[in-house]
Amino acid sequence: MATETQQHAIDTMLLEERRYEAAPDFARQANAQPEIYERDWQEFWETEGRERVTWFEPFTELYEWNPPYAKWYLGGKLNVCFNCVDRHVEAGRGGQVAYYWEGEPEGERREIRFADLQRDVVRFANALKGLGVRKGTPVAIYMGMVPELPVAMLACTRLGAPHTVVFGGFSAESLADRMNDMECEVLITQDEGWRAGKTVPLKRNADEAVANASTVKKVVTLRRTGNDVPFDESRDVWWHEAVDGQSADAESCPCEPMDSEDLLYLLYTSGTTAKPKGIIHTTAGYLVGVAATHHYIFDVKPDSVYWCAADVGWVTGHSYIVYGPLCNGTTGVLYEGVPNYPNPERWWEIIERYKVDILYTAPTAIRSHMKWGPEHAQKHDLSSLRLLGSVGEPINPEAWVWYREHIGGDRTPVVDTWWQTETGMILITPLPGITTLKPGSATKPFPGVDAAVYSENGQTVGPGGGGYLVLKRPWPAMLRGIYKDDERYRETYWSKYEDVYFAGDGARVDEDGDFWLLGRVDDVMNVSGHRISTIEIESALVDHKKVAEAAVCGRKDERTGQAIVAYVTLKGGDEGSIDMLEELRNHVGTKIGPIAKPANIVFTPELPKTRSGKIMRRLLRDVAENRALGDTTTLADPTVVEEIKERAATEAPEE
């Protein structure tokens, strides 16, 4: 056992045996046909590169790999905005809707056609030019989910100005850090945002940030709520005044021809140290990667209405709300607010109204809907849905099945897509119509992608064993490094194994070659010498009919090294009891084995989550070990963790 444990790096114990074959009628019409897996990987990316995007000058070399740095589509010239906007209008599709936008306050709706998008982007790009933005000028964007957010991003790409979008929920300090690192010269923001019926003080935060970011010379502010906000005449410009009188003619602001490897954007992601990492994405490989994956994985059709319910401030929004879908000329939905405003029916109303056929969201949102109950979805006609997607965290099998049954009418495929800010595009995923689906498994590497699971010492782990997820060859949308920090880039991703990308996630591969993601390596616990991942225990807990959500972490234990602590939210607001605690411990014991029984269970009405919906196990570990709480600024609701602390203190001690 000991040697096996060493060899596998992580023990995996939870078995999920439900299978969903592809339906023949879906398979027949699917964008991806089985031969896709037989294609030579270089031929695949070469063809995608040539056909998926329009080039001003064709590329001459597919890729160059000087580990750990890759270049793709060398020698090519293209423009992202041209591919996402202008070429669709030129092809006569200007009348097609690019975004159906729903504001959070009820009844606020806009339809933005591709021709409208072109007009708005050209006018705003002309306005930015007037403010001194040129090819290479770094621009920061700090906005809510309004149509002007993609407009601002596209205007930057039109001019060849790299952007960094900072999620509107981040603080002034986070914004300043990012602007300083990128040396941004212009900031685009809005007066306020809407979130859960309340206003978010974006301009005030922006002002506070700019006070500590001396490179920023101009601030463009969109009027959204119309409430009074501070305004500095010498530095600030209103969006509506800046575009006033600007030409909307595409010729007045031609798309800048960019080199394939020119910087497209930086997106900052948190790491183990306080300083966020500026993940570098460049032009051609990124665009080809996101457009190709979007086409095959979401099976988008010319008449699709596709809704990725993430925030544009995260990589999911960059790749699968803005660049991938627009490059493919897809009609999308953009929703400004939270899923339960004014009530938990909001999403289902939106799907019914626009006849959405593809929905892409995160496990945390799915579990929230589970908690609110299926009756909200039942009140709406969701029969337009053809495909569901999940991203951001491992999805518990119970949540997967709930999603398919209650949202997908027990007919739609569910694609569980694994990727990262760093990977730029989806890398491990089912292809609908081909793949036999397994709840909880992201299944297979995307065509052209080479993934594996390695042991501690770099050996491939066989079926059933747990280890570390690695990527063995470069892919077009991969990060080109960490901005201004070569050493950290090498250290974080390329030092554990030679010339192989270390993703930092645990995984196992089963007998069919399907991947099961086990969460971040930091979330692995060591109980009596067994390295157990949190996701398997959480999934066993969520499998219990009374449990809505669960988060698990380890705490120090003299006897077993670490002991398992679970935080559980019950359905229907149930408070929990000692009996329930015992029932859940036994349930985990039956599903996985006695070793996985939590030593303690804390019942709580909410779990601490980041604003992108990830459970913050680091804070739960602080609570479990009775330590002062670490940084809580990235929490969506900081009060949650205080409440958990109180409950943990009054919880029954372990046996």
The nearest distance, CB 468 to ligand PRX, in angstroms, is 11
* Smallest gap from residue 417 Cβ to ligand PRX (A): 5
Which residue in 155, 425, 442, 644 binds ligand PRX (CB under 6 A)? 442
Q: Which stretch binds ligand PRX (CB under 6 A): 35-43, 108-116, 419-427, 589-597?
A: 419-427
Residue closer to ligand PRX, measured from CB, 172 or 503: 503
* Collapsed DSSP state (helix, strand, coil) of residue 277: strand
- CB of 447 or CB of 504, closer to ligand PRX: 504
Render 552-595 in DSSP notation, one character per residue: EEEEEETTTEEEEEEEEEEGGG----HHHHHHHHHHHHHHT-GG
Integer CA distances (angstroms), 471 to 23, 279, 452, 498, 519, in order: 31, 17, 6, 11, 16
Stretch that binds ligand PRX, among 385-393, 471-479, 536-544, 574-582 (CB under 6 A): 385-393
Spatial separation of the C-alpha atoms in residues 335 and 358, rounded to whole Å: 15
Range 615-624 burial, b when 16+ CB lie within 10 A, else e? bbbbbbbbbb
Structure tokens at 652: 């029954």
Q: Which of 156, 187, 315, 588 binds ligand PRX (CB under 6 A)?
A: 315
Does position 316 interact with ligand PRX (CB under 6 A)? The reply is yes
Smaller CB distance to ligand PRX: residue 79 or 612? 612
- Rounded-to-integer distance, Cα 140 and Cα 174, Å: 12
Which residue in the set 59, 307, 418, 489 belongs to the binding site for ligand PRX (CB under 6 A)? 418
Query: Does 180 help bind ligand PRX (rule: CB under 6 A)?
Result: no
Residue appearing with tokens 């995307």: 446
Site for ligand PRX in 490-549 (CB under 6 A): 503-505, 517, 519-520
Nearer to ligand PRX, 445 or 576 (CB): 445
**Taking CB under 6 A as the rule, does residue 459 contact ligand PRX?**
no
State which amino acid sits at residue 285: G
Find how far residue 459's CA is from the centre of its chain.
30
User: From the CB of 263, what's the least distance to ligand PRX, in Å?
Assistant: 19
Q: Which of 421, 435, 443, 455 forms a contact with ligand PRX (CB under 6 A)?
A: 421
Contacts to ligand PRX from residues 618-647, by CB under 6 A: none
Residue 413 · residue 22 · CB < 8 Å: yes
Instruction: Report the site for ligand PRX in 36-75 (rule: CB under 6 A).
Output: none
For ligand PRX, give the closer residue by CB, 253 or 425.
Answer: 425
Q: Rounded to the nearest whole angstrom, what is the least distance from the CB of residue 301 to ligand PRX in the complex?
A: 24
Cβ count within 10 A of residue 179: 27
Rounded Cα gap, residues 419 and 503, in angstroms: 9
- Of 251, 255, 249, give the one whose Cα is nearest residue 77: 255
Say whether 169 sits in a helix, a strand or coil.
Answer: coil
- CA gap 71, 64 in Å, rounded: 5
| Residue 593 burial (10 A CB sphere; 0-12, 13-18, 19+) | middle
Nearer to ligand PRX, 237 or 471 (CB): 471
Least separation in angstroms between residue 194's CB and ligand PRX is: 24
For residue 469, the SS3 value is strand
Q: How buried is residue 538: exposed, middle or buried, by Cβ count under 10 Å (0-12/13-18/19+)?
A: buried
Least Cα distance to 602 among 560, 653, 561 occurs for 653
CB nearer to ligand PRX: pick between 10 and 517: 517
Q: For residue 578, how many other CB atoms are within 10 A of its CB?
A: 10
Q: Which of 31, 54, 212, 420 binds ligand PRX (CB under 6 A)?
A: 420
Q: Counting every residue, how long is the chain? A: 655
Please select the residue that binds ligand PRX; options are 417, 441, 539, 600, rule is CB under 6 A. 417
Q: Write the interaction track for ligand PRX spanning residues 254-283; mark x where CB under 6 A is met and - where it is not.
A: ---------------x--------------
Q: How far is CA 520 from the centre of its chain?
A: 15
Scanning 154-162, 210-218, 418-426, 547-555 for contacts with ligand PRX by CB under 6 A, the matching segment is 418-426
Question: Number of helices (H) and strands (E), helices first, in the chain?
Answer: 22, 29
Q: Rule CB under 6 A: choose which of 98, 112, 184, 391 binds ligand PRX.
A: 391
Residue with tokens 């992108």: 612
Span near ligand PRX by CB under 6 A; candidates 61-69, 406-414, 415-423, 575-583: 415-423
Listed in order, strand segments (DSSP E) in 36-133 are 61-66, 69-74, 77-78, 97-102, 109-113
Question: 194 or 446, CB closer to ligand PRX?
Answer: 446
Is the CB of 149 or the CB of 237 nearer to ligand PRX? 149
Q: Which listed residue (392, 413, 439, 554) binds ligand PRX by CB under 6 A? A: 392
Residues that bind ligand PRX (CB under 6 A): 269, 315-316, 391-394, 416-421, 442, 503-505, 517, 519-520, 612
